[in-house]
Amino acid sequence: MCSGKTSQTYNFCFIDACTAAPTSMLANLFGFFHQSFIMRTRMRKHKVTFVVILVIIFCVVFVRVYTESRDESPKAIGQSIQKEYTKGRGEPHDQGRDTRVRISPIADPDLSEDLSKVEHGGIGMDAHTSPKIQTPLLRHIASDIISMKPDIFETVPRQFLPDYKSPCWFNKQNELYCLPYFYIIGVDKCGTTDLWDKITQHPDVLASVPKEPHWWGKRRHGCEQPPIHQKEARQISKMIGEKNDSSIEWYLNWFKTFGVKSIESSPSQNADGDVTFPKVFCDASISTCFNIGKPWEEGNYTNADLIHAVQPQAKIVMIIRNPTQRFFSGFMYNSMYRDKSSAALDLEVKEKIHCLTSCLQKHSERYCVFTKTCEPLNTIYLTLVKDWMRVYGRDGVYVLRLEDWRKNCAEELKKLIIFLELPALPKDEILRITRRKTLNVNARKAQGPALWNTTRDLLQDFFRPLNKRFASFMNDTRFLYNEG
C-alpha cells in the first residue's frame, strides 16, 4: 500500500538560476544576428568594418555571459569570510568535496525511480555548481539553503583549520570555535544513548559534551524545548544574552563551553612531527533526522541539506532496529499509555496501522513520516536515510543495527571507529568499552505485556514491504529483519 506512493516522494521542482541568465542572453544574441543580417544588406560597402565590429560585439557579449554566470557564485560572502578567516592562525584548506551524490545502482526497480530523481539533482542538490566557476577555496552554497538560516553562514567559515580534526576556526577575536565532527542522527528507541556512551569512550571523542543539544531539529526552529540537559541549556541561554536559543551563537557556545577547550588543550604530534589537534565531539540529538521544520511543510531542503552545506565532511551515523521491536519499546516507554496490557497494545497497533494507511492514501510518504501524526509507526527508515544519503552519499552515512550492536558490540565498535576515521584501539580497550553497562535499556519493558502472536503478526505484515524496500535500498538482507 506504500509502494504506490513513492513517486510522490520527491515531487520538488527546481529552476536552475544559473541556466536562466545565459538563456536570455542567447535570445538577445539571436535577435542581434537577425537584425545585423538586415543591416548587412544595406552596408555591403563597409563589409570589412562590419565584420570587425561584429567580432568585437560578439566578444563583449560572450564576456558578459561568462561574467554573469560567475556572479552566481557566492563571491561577496565567501571572500569576506575568507579574509576574516585568514586573520586567524593557520592556512585555510579546502573542505569542499564533490557534492554529487554517489549512489550505486540498486536492485529494486521500485526505488530506481526515486533514486534517478536523486541523481539528477533532486531536492537540495548543489546543482548550480559548475567546476568552471568554483575556485578551490570556495564551495558554492545555494542561496535557498543560506536563507534557511543566514546567521550560520555569516558566522561559520567555509573552510576549517587544517591541523584540527574537528571542523574548527578562529573568529575575529581569535577565539577558537568548533562544530561536531560527527552526528548520530537517530533513530529514537534504537539505542542511540548506548551508542553515544560507548563511542565517547574512545580517547579522541569528548564525553564532556552533552549528548543532545537538539539544535538543528528543535531549537533552530524555536520548537518546544526538550527536557534533556536543561541545566546546561539554561547556562548557554544565559551566556548568549539577548539572542534566543535559535541563534547559531547558542549552538556554537554549547560546544565552546563543553568541548572546545579540551580540543585546544590536547595537541598531539603526528608522524611528520606536525602539531595537530585530534580531539572531536559529536551531536547525538535524535531530533536531527526527525524534526525538519515547524510547522512541517514539504520544504525543498531539510536538516541534511543545511548541515551538509555547513559541513560537507561531517560523518553521519544512524542506528536502527527491527521496527516491530521498536514499536513495542515505544509503547512501553511512552507514559501516555497507562494501560500497558496485551489488549491495549493490540488496540494501539490496529489504530496506528489504520492511521498511517489512511495518511499514505492522502499524502506523500514524507508528509506522513515527518508530520508524526501516527507515531511511532511513522518511522520509515528509508525516508529518513534517503535525505542524508542524497547529500552525503552512501559512503557518508553509516547505518548500524541495534541487534548487531548488542550481539557483537566489539566488532561493530571497530567498524564504527573505521568509518569515523578515528585511531584504532587495542583489543583490551575495545573490551573495556563494550563491557560497560548498556545504557537506557527500557527497564519497564521487562514488565511489559506478552505481545500476542496476532499483534506481532499484524506489525510484521505491516513492516514487511517497508523492510524489503529498505533492505533493497541498502543492498543488505540484514535489514529484512526476517529473524522476527
Instruction: Return the closest-CA partner of residue 402 out of 141, 194, 259, 249.
Output: 194
Residue 91 or 411: which CB sits closer to ligand NAG?
411
Of 4 and 150, CB closest to ligand NAG? 150
Residue ranges binding ligand NAG (CB under 6 A)? 12-15, 104-106, 222, 244, 246-247, 297, 299-300, 453, 475
Smallest separation (angstroms) from ligand NAG to the CB of 279: 31
Q: Are 410 and 431 in contact (CB under 8 A)?
A: yes
CB closer to ligand NAG out of 79 and 244: 244
Produce one character per residue of 32-68: b if its CB has 16 or more CB atoms within 10 Å, e if not. Answer: eeeeeeeeeeeeeeeeeeeeeeeeeeeeeeeeebeee
Between 165 and 456, CB nearer to ligand NAG: 456
**Ordered alpha helix ranges (H), 259-322:** 261-264, 287-290, 303-310
Element (H, E) at 252: helix 248-255
Q: How far is the CB of 176 from ligand NAG (least distance, A)?
A: 24
Question: With respect to ligand NAG, which residue has the nearer C-beta, 145 or 280?
Answer: 145
Residue of 322, 305, 337, 358 whose CA lies nearest to 467: 322
Find the shortest distance in angstroms from Cβ 421 to ligand NAG.
Answer: 22
Interacting residues of 252 by C-beta distance below 8 A, sequence separation 6+: 155, 156, 177, 179
Q: Give min distance, CB of 220 to ligand NAG, in A.
A: 10
Nearest to 397 by CA among 476, 319, 469, 293: 319
Closest contact distance (angstroms) between CB of 184 and ligand NAG is: 25
Minimal distance, residue 218 CB to ligand NAG, in Å: 12
Residue 378 Cβ, how far from ligand NAG at the closest point, in Å?
21
Give the CA distances from residue 126 to residues 131, 159, 182, 214, in Å, rounded to whole numbers and listed in that order: 12, 17, 21, 26
Which three cell numbers, joined as nine digits, stand for 426? 587495542
Do the Cβ atoms of 258 and 208 come closer than 8 Å?
yes
Which residue lies nearer to ligand NAG by CB, 105 or 109? 105
224 grid coordinates: 518546544
Closest to ligand NAG by CB, 114 vs 188, is 114
CB of 333 vs ligand NAG, minimal distance in Å: 24
Element (H, E) at 275: strand 275-276
Give the Cα separation of 366 and 5 in Å (integer).
10
| Cα gap 398→185, rounded to integer Å | 10
CB 186 within 8 A of CB 289: yes
Beta bridge partners of 169: 177
Q: How far is the CB of 144 from ligand NAG (least distance, A)?
A: 7
Pick between residue 82 and residue 300 the one whose CB is nearest to ligand NAG. 300
Task: Please enumerate in sequence order all residues whose Cβ is within 8 A of that of 63, keeping only pairs 6 or more positions apart, or say none.
Answer: none
SS (H, E, C) 460-475: HHHHHHHHHHHHHHHC
CA distance 246 to 400: 31
Q: How far is the CB of 241 from ligand NAG (least distance, A)?
A: 12
Give the residue with the Cβ less far from ligand NAG, 188 or 245.
245
Nearer to ligand NAG, 244 or 266 (CB): 244
Closer of 17 and 54 to ligand NAG (Cβ): 17
Q: How far is the CB of 56 from ligand NAG (least distance, A)?
A: 38
